[in-house]
Amino acid sequence: MKIWLTIAAMGLAMCAAAMRAQLPAEAATQPAAAEDEGSPTMFPHPDGARYLIAGQANIVFQAHAPFHSPYEGTNSFLSRGEYKTSLVGTIFLGYEVVRKPKFALDAIFDEESAGGRGLSEALGLAGFTNLDVVRNPSLGSTPYMARYELHQVVGLTDKLVDSERTNFSLATRLPERRLEFWVGRMGLPDLIDLNSIGTDSHLQFLNWSIDNNGAWDYAANTRG
């Protein structure tokens, strides 16, 4: 049983529906600006600003019923019924140190907190059912620096093209041919193994083995 609560998206959808119900028929047929911007946000994210401030909270609730397990041990998946909830919160901060497209430089900093628990303390399953769970319960939910890095662009041409603004690249216009460098503390899945099926555990699959690549799950690298 998996219930994924996306609180912000649900709240925005309910507000949008209520507002549309009060609009005249001709106004309701016009596309809303928020829909054109893609994913829903609680506050506007202007592309022209030199800074980026964003946040994300992901809550995952999972439960299972009792089942027969005659060989259960200390580190086994518990046979008694249980339920657990995990919470991961992230604050994304970015600043365009150099705004010249040919030599754009971004400073990026993210603070994160990973709390809650996984079923059976995230033990007993090879492909665990919740990627947001920290497998070392003693770490607790104390905030930690998830990322701090510099993103440097070196343009190889004067021709500029549109570029989507992300948490890891703030410029909206960049050289068509360029070199990009990221230096600092980062998550490799931010830049490597990107695909439309299994890249983001917050929006796609939650299983430890499906998302990205099973090889990322290195026991000594608890927080990934």
pLDDT of residue 39: 61
Give the pLDDT confidence score for residue 141 in this predicted structure.
84
What pLDDT does 37 receive?
52
Please spell the DSSP secondary structure of 1-19, one letter per residue: -EEEE-HHHHHHHHHHHHH
Q: Which two tokens stand for residue 121?
A: 């303390």
Taking the complete model, does pTM exceed 0.75, yes or no?
no
Token pair in block for residue 109: 């900093």
Neighbours of 103 (CB within 10 A): 13
The per-residue pLDDT for 214 is 55
The pLDDT assigned to 43 comes to 73
Q: Give 173-215 pLDDT, tens digit per residue.
A: 999 999 999 999 987 778 877 777 777 777 778 887 776 555 5
Q: Please report which confidence band the pLDDT of residue 48 belongs to, taking 50, 70 and 90 as the band edges.
A: confident
More confident site: 112 or 206: 112
Please give the Cα distance from 11 to 204 (Å, whole number).
Answer: 20
Cβ within 8 Å of residue 43, ≥6 positions away: none
pLDDT: which is higher, 72 or 48: 72
pLDDT digits over 118-176, tens only?
899 888 888 888 888 877 767 778 899 989 999 999 999 999 999 999 999 999 999 99
pLDDT band at 1 (very low <50, low <70, confident <90, very high): very low
pLDDT value, residue 127: 80
% residues pLDDT > 90 (the chain): 42
Strands 173-175 and 178-185: unpaired
